[in-house]
């Protein structure tokens, strides 16, 4: 009988889940609207229903369930409690996910931050495979990160390591949702790219979405090219800081924006080389590469939490 883990990636919009074997085989996967506005208790009940659905599927397919791994938005401490969460998941802060689900499900549960789960997925089956040490960045509504060292996420003093989006790169800069000003995520997130386009494009039709901005830049629209290059430089500034801090063997960058491939990544690499001290990102060149698992990375990495305990 094949052993499988349930991987669950809780985002503000969707919960991505699946059955993942110990060798990485995906037996089934689903995407379920989070509907976070309904509150914490409804969200926990929805997760329990997802688990029960996979229990039925596993029974039909004669699969042996080993446990549940959960990656969640928010900062998760070493006890699996959400110590800090954004308004995308109302009431989620302070939730002990494992303890509050344990009354509804009987399988062992392992919980971590969503970007740690993404990094574990990329380490296991994606761009970070065959590497024991790298930095994984996730560019989305905000900016998150994870340092993989010795084949595991570095979690820090109480589990909150990886809040790279809240390093200050512009003193007195744009206000951040965290209450500070000039945080990196206000310059390198997809949200920041949208703001830049709104500010710099004078209402041009191509400025309505990040995809349209990149399409215009590829077509040689000068202002769009300027926006893309400035955005790449913003990504490179924080990345260069991390390279100087950690001297990593590779940088893996995830998020929908990475679909732009080398059109974006070559700009990031060029700016990083310019912003780092000799030897940190060149000779030999430090790999800065897109993640490979796309929207499945967090679900796959969440399942890996289970296999790391077996």
pLDDT score for 246: 97
Mean of the per-residue pLDDT values for the chain?
95
Common-topology check for domains 2-121+295-309 and 130-292:
yes
DSSP conformational letter for 62: T
pLDDT score for 269: 98
pLDDT score for 175: 95
Give the strands of the sheet with 251-254, arranged side by side: 152-153, 143-149, 134-139, 251-254, 288-290
pLDDT score for 141: 87
Classified as helix, coil or strand, 294 is: helix
Cα separation, 239 vs 185, in Å, equals 12
Q: Supply the DSSP string of 188-202, one letter for each residue.
A: HSHHHHHHHHHHHST
Distance (Å) of CA 53 to CA 50, 184, 198: 5, 40, 43
pLDDT score for 120: 98
The structure tokens listed for 267 are: 């700009």
Q: Which CATH superfamily is domain 2-121+295-309 in?
A: ATPase, nucleotide binding domain (3.30.420.40)
What sign has the CA pseudo-torsion 39, 40, 45, 48?
positive
**Could you tell me which CATH number the domain at 130-292 has?**
3.30.420.40
Q: What is the pLDDT of residues 247-304, one digit of tens each?
A: 999 999 999 898 999 999 999 999 999 999 999 999 899 999 999 999 999 999 999 9
Residue 219 reports pLDDT greater than 80: yes
Residue 213 reports pLDDT greater than 90: yes
Q: What is the pLDDT of residues 102-141, one digit of tens each?
A: 889 999 999 999 999 999 999 999 999 999 999 999 999 8
pLDDT score for 52: 97
pTM of the model: 0.93
Residue 89 reports pLDDT greater than 90: no
- The residue extents of the domains of the chain are 2-121+295-309, 130-292
Pick from 188, 174, 88, 184: nearest CA to 139: 188
Cα separation, 37 vs 257, in Å, equals 26
pLDDT score for 88: 76
């Amino acid at each position: 009988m094949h052993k499988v883990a349930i991987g669950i990636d809780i985002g503000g919009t969707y919960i991505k889940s699946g059955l993942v074997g110990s060798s990485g085989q995906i037996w089934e996967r689903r995407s379920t609207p989070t509907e976070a506005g309904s509150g914490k208790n409804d969200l926990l009940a929805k997760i329990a229903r997802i688990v029960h659905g996979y229990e039925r599927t596993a029974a039909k397919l004669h699969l042996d369930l080993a446990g549940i791994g959960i990656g969640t938005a928010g900062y998760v401490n070493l006890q699996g409690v959400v110590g800090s969460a954004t308004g995308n998941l109302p009431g989620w802060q302070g939730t002990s996910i494992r303890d509050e689900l344990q009354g509804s499900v009987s399988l062992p549960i392992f919980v971590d931050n969503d970007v740690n789960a993404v990094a574990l997925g990329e380490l296991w089956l994606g761009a970070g495979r065959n590497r024991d040490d790298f930095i994984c960045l996730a560019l989305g509504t905000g900016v998150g990160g994870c340092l993989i060292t010795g084949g595991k996420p570095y979690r820090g003093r109480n589990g909150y390591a990886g809040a790279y989006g809240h390093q200050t790169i512009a003193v007195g800069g744009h206000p951040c949702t965290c209450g500070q000003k000039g945080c990196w995520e206000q310059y390198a997130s997809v949200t920041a790219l949208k703001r830049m386009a709104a500010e710099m494009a004078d209402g041009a039709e191509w400025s309505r979405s990040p995809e349209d901005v990149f399409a215009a830049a590829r077509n040689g629209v000068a202002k769009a090219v300027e926006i893309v290059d400035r955005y790449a430089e913003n990504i490179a500034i924080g990345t260069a800081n991390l390279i100087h801090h950690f001297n990593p063997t590779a940088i893996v960058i995830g998020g929908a924006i990475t679909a732009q491939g080398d059109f974006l990544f070559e700009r990031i690499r060029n700016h990083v080389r310019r912003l780092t001290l000799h030897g940190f990102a060149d000779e030999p060149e430090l790999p800065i590469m897109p993640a490979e698992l796309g929207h499945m990375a967090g679900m796959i990495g969440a399942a890996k939490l289970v296999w790391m305990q077996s």
